[in-house]
Protein backbone atom coordinates (compact mmCIF):
# COMPACT_ATOMS: atom_id res chain seq x y z
CA UNK A 1 0.00 0.00 0.00
CA UNK A 2 2.82 2.43 0.85
CA UNK A 3 4.41 1.68 -2.52
CA UNK A 4 1.13 2.58 -4.25
CA UNK A 5 0.68 5.75 -2.21
CA UNK A 6 4.25 6.80 -2.93
CA UNK A 7 3.79 6.34 -6.64
CA UNK A 8 0.45 8.14 -6.60
CA UNK A 9 2.36 11.13 -5.27
CA UNK A 10 4.37 11.09 -8.47
CA UNK A 11 1.24 11.36 -10.56
CA UNK A 12 0.21 14.38 -8.52
CA UNK A 13 3.63 15.97 -8.96
CA UNK A 14 3.51 15.44 -12.70
CA UNK A 15 0.02 16.82 -13.33
CA UNK A 16 1.38 20.29 -13.92
CA UNK A 17 3.63 19.15 -16.75
CA UNK A 18 1.24 20.01 -19.56
CA UNK A 19 0.79 23.56 -18.34
CA UNK A 20 4.56 23.97 -17.99
CA UNK A 21 5.43 22.36 -21.30
CA UNK A 22 6.60 19.03 -19.84
CA UNK A 23 5.68 15.79 -21.53
CA UNK A 24 6.60 13.02 -19.07
CA UNK A 25 4.96 9.76 -20.02
CA UNK A 26 2.66 8.10 -17.53
CA UNK A 27 0.98 4.78 -18.15
CA UNK A 28 -1.54 2.70 -16.22
CA UNK A 29 1.10 1.38 -13.79
CA UNK A 30 2.32 3.07 -10.64
CA UNK A 31 5.95 3.15 -11.82
CA UNK A 32 7.88 6.34 -12.44
CA UNK A 33 8.28 7.16 -16.14
CA UNK A 34 11.62 6.15 -17.61
CA UNK A 35 12.21 9.71 -18.76
CA UNK A 36 10.59 13.12 -18.55
CA UNK A 37 10.59 16.18 -20.77
CA UNK A 38 11.52 19.49 -19.22
CA UNK A 39 10.39 21.90 -17.91
CA UNK A 40 8.86 19.85 -15.12
CA UNK A 41 6.97 20.93 -12.00
CA UNK A 42 7.35 19.07 -8.71
CA UNK A 43 6.15 19.64 -5.17
CA UNK A 44 8.81 19.15 -2.52
CA UNK A 45 8.29 17.83 1.01
CA UNK A 46 7.74 21.32 2.37
CA UNK A 47 4.79 21.71 -0.02
CA UNK A 48 6.70 24.15 -2.23
CA UNK A 49 6.12 24.16 -5.98
CA UNK A 50 9.40 24.00 -7.89
CA UNK A 51 9.64 24.40 -11.67
CA UNK A 52 12.79 22.83 -13.10
CA UNK A 53 13.46 24.18 -16.57
CA UNK A 54 16.17 21.73 -17.66
CA UNK A 55 17.54 18.42 -16.45
CA UNK A 56 19.92 19.33 -13.61
CA UNK A 57 23.54 18.48 -14.37
CA UNK A 58 25.16 19.88 -11.24
CA UNK A 59 23.82 19.06 -7.78
CA UNK A 60 24.51 20.05 -4.20
CA UNK A 61 23.31 18.02 -1.23
CA UNK A 62 23.32 19.64 2.20
CA UNK A 63 22.04 16.54 3.99
CA UNK A 64 23.67 13.12 4.37
CA UNK A 65 20.35 11.36 3.80
CA UNK A 66 19.79 12.99 0.43
CA UNK A 67 23.46 12.41 -0.46
CA UNK A 68 23.06 8.70 0.19
CA UNK A 69 19.96 8.70 -2.02
CA UNK A 70 21.86 10.49 -4.78
CA UNK A 71 24.47 7.72 -4.77
CA UNK A 72 21.79 5.02 -4.95
CA UNK A 73 20.11 6.87 -7.84
CA UNK A 74 23.43 7.10 -9.74
CA UNK A 75 23.50 10.88 -9.40
CA UNK A 76 26.68 11.21 -7.34
CA UNK A 77 28.72 11.99 -10.46
CA UNK A 78 26.69 15.18 -10.87
CA UNK A 79 27.45 16.46 -7.37
CA UNK A 80 29.58 19.59 -6.98
CA UNK A 81 29.00 20.23 -3.26
CA UNK A 82 28.26 18.15 -0.17
CA UNK A 83 27.32 18.49 3.50
CA UNK A 84 29.94 18.93 6.21
CA UNK A 85 31.94 16.00 7.61
CA UNK A 86 31.54 13.91 4.48
CA UNK A 87 34.85 12.22 5.26
CA UNK A 88 33.22 10.69 8.35
CA UNK A 89 30.65 8.77 6.27
CA UNK A 90 31.77 5.21 5.58
CA UNK A 91 29.24 4.82 2.77
CA UNK A 92 30.92 7.59 0.76
CA UNK A 93 34.34 6.01 1.14
CA UNK A 94 32.97 2.65 0.03
CA UNK A 95 30.65 3.72 -2.79
CA UNK A 96 31.79 7.10 -4.07
CA UNK A 97 35.09 8.23 -2.52
CA UNK A 98 35.38 11.22 -4.85
CA UNK A 99 32.54 12.86 -2.93
CA UNK A 100 34.78 13.34 0.09
CA UNK A 101 36.89 15.93 -1.71
CA UNK A 102 33.93 18.05 -2.85
CA UNK A 103 33.47 21.54 -1.37
CA UNK A 104 31.52 21.50 1.89
CA UNK A 105 28.36 23.58 2.18
CA UNK A 106 28.16 23.10 5.94
CA UNK A 107 25.37 21.61 7.99
CA UNK A 108 21.78 22.41 8.92
CA UNK A 109 23.15 24.26 11.95
CA UNK A 110 25.84 26.16 10.07
CA UNK A 111 24.93 26.20 6.39
CA UNK A 112 27.38 27.97 4.06
CA UNK A 113 24.91 29.89 1.93
CA UNK A 114 27.53 31.90 0.06
CA UNK A 115 29.68 28.85 -0.56
CA UNK A 116 26.73 26.93 -1.92
CA UNK A 117 25.69 29.77 -4.23
CA UNK A 118 29.27 30.13 -5.49
CA UNK A 119 29.12 26.57 -6.83
CA UNK A 120 26.31 27.71 -9.15
CA UNK A 121 24.47 24.37 -9.00
CA UNK A 122 21.44 23.54 -11.11
CA UNK A 123 19.68 21.92 -8.13
CA UNK A 124 20.23 21.97 -4.37
CA UNK A 125 18.68 19.45 -1.96
CA UNK A 126 18.34 20.58 1.64
CA UNK A 127 16.67 19.37 4.85
CA UNK A 128 13.44 21.01 5.96
CA UNK A 129 15.30 23.01 8.62
CA UNK A 130 16.91 25.13 5.90
CA UNK A 131 13.75 26.77 4.53
CA UNK A 132 15.23 30.23 4.82
CA UNK A 133 18.36 29.22 2.91
CA UNK A 134 16.16 27.66 0.22
CA UNK A 135 14.29 30.94 -0.23
CA UNK A 136 17.55 32.87 -0.56
CA UNK A 137 19.01 30.45 -3.10
CA UNK A 138 15.84 30.55 -5.17
CA UNK A 139 16.06 34.32 -5.15
CA UNK A 140 19.43 33.83 -6.85
CA UNK A 141 17.84 31.64 -9.52
CA UNK A 142 18.94 28.30 -8.03
CA UNK A 143 16.35 25.52 -7.78
CA UNK A 144 16.00 23.95 -4.33
CA UNK A 145 14.16 20.88 -3.06
CA UNK A 146 13.43 20.60 0.66
CA UNK A 147 13.17 17.05 1.96
CA UNK A 148 11.88 15.59 5.20
CA UNK A 149 12.17 11.76 5.28
CA UNK A 150 10.93 11.30 8.84
CA UNK A 151 9.25 7.93 8.26
CA UNK A 152 9.36 5.10 5.72
CA UNK A 153 6.65 6.57 3.49
CA UNK A 154 8.35 9.98 3.47
CA UNK A 155 11.70 8.35 2.69
CA UNK A 156 10.20 6.66 -0.36
CA UNK A 157 8.52 9.95 -1.27
CA UNK A 158 11.91 11.71 -1.09
CA UNK A 159 13.46 9.13 -3.42
CA UNK A 160 10.56 9.63 -5.82
CA UNK A 161 10.90 13.41 -5.66
CA UNK A 162 14.64 13.48 -6.36
CA UNK A 163 14.38 10.91 -9.13
CA UNK A 164 11.56 12.81 -10.81
CA UNK A 165 13.42 16.11 -10.65
CA UNK A 166 16.66 14.61 -11.98
CA UNK A 167 15.18 12.25 -14.59
CA UNK A 168 16.15 9.01 -12.86
CA UNK A 169 12.81 7.24 -12.91
CA UNK A 170 14.08 3.83 -13.99
CA UNK A 171 16.73 3.73 -11.29
CA UNK A 172 14.23 4.88 -8.65
CA UNK A 173 11.86 2.10 -9.72
CA UNK A 174 14.62 -0.46 -9.12
CA UNK A 175 15.35 0.97 -5.68
CA UNK A 176 11.73 1.29 -4.61
CA UNK A 177 10.96 -2.18 -5.95
CA UNK A 178 13.79 -3.63 -3.86
CA UNK A 179 12.44 -1.90 -0.75
CA UNK A 180 8.90 -3.06 -1.50
CA UNK A 181 10.09 -6.63 -2.05
CA UNK A 182 11.89 -6.62 1.31
CA UNK A 183 8.78 -5.33 3.01
CA UNK A 184 6.66 -8.03 1.35
CA UNK A 185 9.18 -10.74 2.29
CA UNK A 186 9.21 -9.65 5.90
CA UNK A 187 5.43 -9.47 6.10
CA UNK A 188 5.15 -12.99 4.71
CA UNK A 189 7.90 -14.48 6.84
CA UNK A 190 6.73 -13.08 10.17
CA UNK A 191 2.99 -13.54 9.57
CA UNK A 192 1.35 -15.09 12.61
CA UNK A 193 4.26 -14.46 14.97
CA UNK A 194 3.94 -12.54 18.21
CA UNK A 195 5.30 -9.00 18.05
CA UNK A 196 7.78 -8.38 20.89
CA UNK A 197 8.25 -4.90 22.34
CA UNK A 198 11.44 -3.11 21.32
CA UNK A 199 13.15 -0.15 22.96
CA UNK A 200 15.45 1.72 20.59
CA UNK A 201 18.10 3.71 22.48
CA UNK A 202 19.65 6.87 21.07
CA UNK A 203 23.18 7.71 19.99
CA UNK A 204 24.58 9.69 22.88
CA UNK A 205 22.15 8.82 25.65
CA UNK A 206 20.65 5.43 26.45
CA UNK A 207 17.57 7.16 27.92
CA UNK A 208 16.82 8.93 24.63
CA UNK A 209 14.38 7.23 22.26
CA UNK A 210 12.23 7.75 19.17
CA UNK A 211 8.44 7.97 19.41
CA UNK A 212 5.78 6.63 17.09
CA UNK A 213 6.01 9.38 14.47
CA UNK A 214 9.67 8.78 13.64
CA UNK A 215 11.36 6.59 11.07
CA UNK A 216 12.76 4.23 13.69
CA UNK A 217 9.25 3.25 14.74
CA UNK A 218 8.48 2.15 11.18
CA UNK A 219 11.71 0.14 11.14
CA UNK A 220 10.62 -1.74 14.26
CA UNK A 221 7.11 -2.35 12.89
CA UNK A 222 8.41 -3.71 9.57
CA UNK A 223 10.65 -6.08 11.55
CA UNK A 224 7.66 -7.54 13.36
CA UNK A 225 8.06 -5.68 16.62
CA UNK A 226 6.25 -2.98 18.58
CA UNK A 227 7.96 0.24 19.53
CA UNK A 228 7.98 0.37 23.33
CA UNK A 229 7.85 4.16 23.06
CA UNK A 230 4.91 4.20 20.65
CA UNK A 231 2.80 6.21 23.10
CA UNK A 232 5.14 9.18 22.56
CA UNK A 233 3.75 11.34 19.77
CA UNK A 234 6.63 13.83 19.65
CA UNK A 235 8.31 13.81 16.24
CA UNK A 236 11.80 14.18 17.71
CA UNK A 237 13.99 12.17 20.03
CA UNK A 238 12.80 12.43 23.61
CA UNK A 239 14.45 11.76 26.96
CA UNK A 240 12.83 9.39 29.40
CA UNK A 241 13.61 8.05 32.88
CA UNK A 242 14.66 4.61 34.07
CA UNK A 243 11.27 4.37 35.72
CA UNK A 244 9.53 4.90 32.40
CA UNK A 245 11.67 2.30 30.68
CA UNK A 246 11.01 -0.24 33.42
CA UNK A 247 7.28 0.48 33.12
CA UNK A 248 7.45 -0.33 29.41
CA UNK A 249 9.63 -3.36 30.28
CA UNK A 250 10.61 -4.16 26.67
CA UNK A 251 11.46 -7.63 25.41
CA UNK A 252 14.41 -6.28 23.41
CA UNK A 253 16.72 -3.29 23.68
CA UNK A 254 18.39 -2.12 20.48
CA UNK A 255 21.18 0.45 20.53
CA UNK A 256 21.66 2.95 17.72
CA UNK A 257 24.46 1.96 15.35
CA UNK A 258 26.73 4.81 16.43
CA UNK A 259 25.86 4.75 20.12
CA UNK A 260 28.56 6.12 22.41
CA UNK A 261 28.05 3.19 24.81
CA UNK A 262 27.89 -0.58 24.34
CA UNK A 263 25.50 -3.46 24.83
CA UNK A 264 27.79 -4.62 27.64
CA UNK A 265 27.27 -1.27 29.39
CA UNK A 266 23.52 -1.74 29.26
CA UNK A 267 23.66 -5.34 30.44
CA UNK A 268 25.79 -4.28 33.40
CA UNK A 269 23.62 -1.31 34.39
CA UNK A 270 22.16 -2.11 37.86
CA UNK A 271 19.19 0.17 37.16
CA UNK A 272 18.07 -2.26 34.45
CA UNK A 273 18.47 -5.55 36.31
CA UNK A 274 14.68 -6.09 36.42
CA UNK A 275 14.11 -5.27 32.74
CA UNK A 276 13.01 -8.28 30.68
CA UNK A 277 15.38 -7.50 27.82
CA UNK A 278 18.38 -7.30 30.13
CA UNK A 279 17.42 -10.38 32.14
CA UNK A 280 17.13 -12.39 28.90
CA UNK A 281 20.29 -10.92 27.38
CA UNK A 282 18.30 -9.43 24.52
CA UNK A 283 20.40 -6.29 24.06
CA UNK A 284 21.90 -5.67 20.62
CA UNK A 285 23.54 -2.86 18.70
CA UNK A 286 22.40 -2.03 15.18
CA UNK A 287 25.16 -2.59 12.59
CA UNK A 288 26.74 0.51 11.12
CA UNK A 289 29.67 -0.78 9.09
CA UNK A 290 28.51 0.94 5.91
CA UNK A 291 25.71 3.20 7.09
CA UNK A 292 23.42 3.75 10.06
CA UNK A 293 20.53 1.43 9.24
CA UNK A 294 18.49 3.03 12.02
CA UNK A 295 18.20 6.25 10.01
CA UNK A 296 15.98 7.14 7.01
CA UNK A 297 18.49 6.38 4.26
CA UNK A 298 17.73 4.06 1.31
CA UNK A 299 19.58 1.23 3.08
CA UNK A 300 17.35 1.69 6.12
CA UNK A 301 15.20 -1.22 4.93
CA UNK A 302 18.17 -3.42 5.80
CA UNK A 303 17.75 -2.28 9.40
CA UNK A 304 14.31 -3.88 9.40
CA UNK A 305 15.74 -7.05 7.83
CA UNK A 306 18.50 -7.22 10.45
CA UNK A 307 16.09 -6.53 13.31
CA UNK A 308 13.60 -9.10 12.03
CA UNK A 309 16.38 -11.71 12.16
CA UNK A 310 17.04 -10.71 15.80
CA UNK A 311 13.36 -10.76 16.79
CA UNK A 312 12.26 -13.74 14.65
CA UNK A 313 15.39 -15.80 13.86
CA UNK A 314 13.47 -18.93 12.88
CA UNK A 315 11.36 -17.07 10.34
CA UNK A 316 13.92 -14.53 9.06
CA UNK A 317 17.20 -16.40 8.83
CA UNK A 318 20.73 -15.03 8.89
CA UNK A 319 21.20 -16.42 5.37
CA UNK A 320 18.24 -14.46 4.05
CA UNK A 321 19.37 -11.29 5.80
CA UNK A 322 22.94 -11.61 4.50
CA UNK A 323 21.71 -12.12 0.95
CA UNK A 324 19.67 -8.92 1.16
CA UNK A 325 22.63 -6.92 2.47
CA UNK A 326 24.90 -8.14 -0.32
CA UNK A 327 22.34 -7.70 -3.08
CA UNK A 328 21.43 -4.19 -1.98
CA UNK A 329 24.94 -2.79 -1.75
CA UNK A 330 26.15 -4.55 -4.87
CA UNK A 331 23.17 -3.26 -6.88
CA UNK A 332 22.81 0.30 -5.61
CA UNK A 333 26.22 1.23 -4.20
CA UNK A 334 28.63 -0.92 -6.19
CA UNK A 335 30.62 -2.62 -3.45
CA UNK A 336 30.64 -5.93 -1.65
CA UNK A 337 29.20 -5.63 1.84
CA UNK A 338 31.11 -7.40 4.59
CA UNK A 339 28.54 -8.90 6.90
CA UNK A 340 29.20 -8.18 10.55
CA UNK A 341 27.89 -10.27 13.40
CA UNK A 342 25.31 -8.94 15.83
CA UNK A 343 26.77 -8.44 19.27
CA UNK A 344 25.13 -8.56 22.65
Q: Evaluate if residue 159 carries a pLDDT over 90.
A: yes
User: What's the mean pLDDT in 72-92?
Assistant: 97
Helix, strand, coil percent content, the chain, rounded in steps of 5 = 45, 15, 40
Q: What is the pLDDT of residue 33?
A: 94
Q: Regarding beta strands 79-81 and 59-61, do their DSSP bridges make them parallel or antiparallel, or are they unpaired?
A: parallel
**C-beta of residue 200 within 8 angstroms of C-beta of residue 254:** yes
Q: What is the pLDDT of residue 28?
A: 33
d(CA 308, CA 233): 24
Handedness of CA 71, 77, 79, 85 (dihedral sign): positive
User: What's the mean pLDDT in 87-112?
Assistant: 96
- State phi, psi for 129 to the nearest 5 degrees: -60, -20
Of the pLDDT bands very low, low, confident and very high (cuts 50, 70, 90), residue 235 is low
Q: Evaluate if residue 14 carries a pLDDT over 50.
A: no
d(CA 299, CA 159): 12
User: What's the mean pLDDT in 305-324?
Assistant: 97
Of the pLDDT bands very low, low, confident and very high (cuts 50, 70, 90), residue 146 is very high
Say which range, 9-13, 115-119, 139-143, has the weakest mean pLDDT: 9-13
Provide the β-strand partners of residue 239.
208
Q: Evaluate if residue 228 carries a pLDDT over 90.
A: yes
Cα–Cα–Cα angle for 189, 191, 197, rounded to 5 degrees = 100
Handedness of CA 140, 125, 87, 256 (dihedral sign): positive
**C-beta of residue 126 within 8 angstroms of C-beta of residue 158:** no
Provide the β-strand partners of residue 137.
none
Cα separations in angstroms, 110 against 59, 104, 106, 175: 19, 11, 6, 32
**C-beta of residue 24 within 8 angstroms of C-beta of residue 35:** yes
Of the pLDDT bands very low, low, confident and very high (cuts 50, 70, 90), residue 236 is confident
Q: Evaluate if residue 261 carries a pLDDT over 50.
A: yes
Averaging pLDDT over each range in 21-35, 57-71, 227-241, which range is the top one?
57-71
What is the average pLDDT value for the chain, to the nearest integer? 90
Q: What is the percent of the chain with per-residue pLDDT over 70, rounded to a whole number?
A: 89
Amino acid sequence: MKRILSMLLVLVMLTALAACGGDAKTDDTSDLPASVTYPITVTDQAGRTVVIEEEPQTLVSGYYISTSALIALELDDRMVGIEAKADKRSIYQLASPELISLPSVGSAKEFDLEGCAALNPDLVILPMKLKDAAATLEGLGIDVLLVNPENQALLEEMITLIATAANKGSRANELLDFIAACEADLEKQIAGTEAPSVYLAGNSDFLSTAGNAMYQSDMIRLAGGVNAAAEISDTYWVNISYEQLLTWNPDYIILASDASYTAADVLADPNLADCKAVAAGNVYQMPGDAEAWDSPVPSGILGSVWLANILHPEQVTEEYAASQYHTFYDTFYGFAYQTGSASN
